[in-house]
Amino acid sequence: MFVDKRLFITRSVAAAALAAPLFAGPLLAVPALAAEATAEGARTLAGNIAAYVGQPAFDKGYVTVGADGDAYRIDLDLGRIVGAFAGDAINLTVYENPWIRTMPVENGLWRVTDFVYPSLKVEFGSENGEPDFFEWRPEGQSADAVFDPELGGFQSFRVRVDRTTTQQKMDGQESRTEESETVVNGRDTRNVEGGFDSKAELGVASYRQTMMTNGSPAYTLSLAPLRYDFEAIGMVLRPIDFLPIIAALSAEATDGTAEEAVSLKAELPTMLPGFRQITSVFTGENIVVELPAGRATAESIRLGLDFPGAIPDARVAISMGSDGVALPAGVLPAWTTPLLPTGFDAELALEDLDLDAPARLLIDRADFNSDQPLDDGDFEAAGRVILPDGALSIVLEPSTVTGPLYTAAVEGRFTVSHDSMKPRREVKVEAPPVVEGSATIALTNLDGIIAELQKAGDVPEVQQAIPALIFAKGLARNEGGRSVWEVDVAANGSVSVNGQMLVPPSR
């Protein structure tokens, strides 16, 4: 859940609906602070939106704007929109279309007083003849937000959904998900570089998902509560930036497609890097997995992702962790119980990536007058310039694994290089990659682990593991009661542990 669908839909639909009219026409065109919204104000608002997405969007009923008491209501007709683009490829049932209710307030700001997610069911063909489907039904929704048109973001944003039910069947896999008390809070602030920074938090009081694959026994996952935190630094792209792109490339929305495509190609590089960094963290507590073999539990689980924008010196990191892990009784042999991990924390990063060069290459090669602006060759070319030096740095940040008897810690950095990874170089298939780097591994209570394994008796796996652990103990150095191994891998292929060469050079 690195990019939560509710957070994405909430911000995209609301920001697009608000920002389009405000950026496309003068703010004073819609009367501010009026006691009642007017039909004339609604027509002006609709005209400003049409300047962004094209008048056919209104002529065909995709978008409507009307006065609603002291506010204006913007409605999207998903059935008409999907029908125009998907035709008979899918069957869409809309229980409720998305809409947003907004009013102008002081200082040129706009307030959202209501926001409704779409409630729908999508059916499409599958290989076995029975339609696959996805159904999403939120209930009990409320919203309150303040939008700043100059910023292109929200000074504050809050949406609550009392209950959400999701059902789907895809390629023989079926699932049903129920969520209660979903609350999204968001806020955007201007940064010194001219863009803005964005933060959002999504919380769910309880989550329960039941899954079944090809008729096999079902299993159920439940968490209570769960949280998703999102932060974007140095945002340049906003939902409104994509509205003119969509309009420019739609033959129904404009007659000047070729001219607009040229303009778009020139404009896209100015939007780079899009953002500097996005960080997202998912946290769940009181995890229970009901399996056919029994119940697996954990006190908490954490998943994180750091992802950069289209920048030259980029770093991507994935982190994960868990505490209080317990597997069903009887699933594994009894002798493994004291050795099984009950918690872990790990982070892996990829460094020395150039994400700016491939982004610019793809923009340069794109033909926006074509039904297929880019082909496989373009993406292959972009892939070749991600590593400008033909080397990838893999970093294992300090990570730990804990169990009843021990704590293990590891950290390290390695570089992998190969001619095939370098731009404009011929691939030498016969040459293996060059790996070099080092790692530090530390383990507490190695003697206790060996003693516990010796209790297992005549188990083949154990009998093979014990000599290996005794050999590892002989290589280790003792630091404060911990067994420590410094592992060094040289470019010549040799491997040393604590200065003792175990693998001789191979190149």
List pLDDT tens digits, range 7-32: 544 444 444 444 433 333 333 344 44
Query: What is the dihedral sign for C-alpha 65, 66, 70, 74?
Result: negative
Can you give the pLDDT at residue 27?
34
Tokens representing residue 441 in the block: 């591994």
With a cut of 50, which residues of the chain have pLDDT below it? 1-3, 5, 8-33, 251-256
What does the domain layout of the chain look like in residue ranges? 1-216, 413-503
Can you give the pLDDT at residue 17?
46
Side chain identity, residue 201 = E
Predicted TM-score (pTM) of the model is 0.81
Cα angle: 263, vertex 267, 269; to 5 degrees = 140
User: Average model confidence (pLDDT) for the chain?
Assistant: 84
Can you give the pLDDT at residue 8?
46
Q: How far apart are CA 138 and CA 117, in angstroms?
A: 7
The residue to which tokens 């190149």 are assigned: 507
Q: Is-contact 404 343, C-beta < 8 A?
A: no
- In tens, the pLDDT along 141-150 reads 998 999 887 7
The residue to which tokens 């293990």 are assigned: 408
**What DSSP assignment string belongs to 28-73?**
GGSPTT-SS--HHHHHHHHHHHHHHH-THHHHTTSEEEEEETTEEE
**What DSSP assignment string belongs to 216-273?**
PPPEEEEESSEEEEEEEEEE---HHHHHHHHHHH-TTT-S-HHHHHHHHHHHGGGGTT
SS3 108: helix
Contacts of 169 (CB under 8 A, 6+ apart): 132, 133
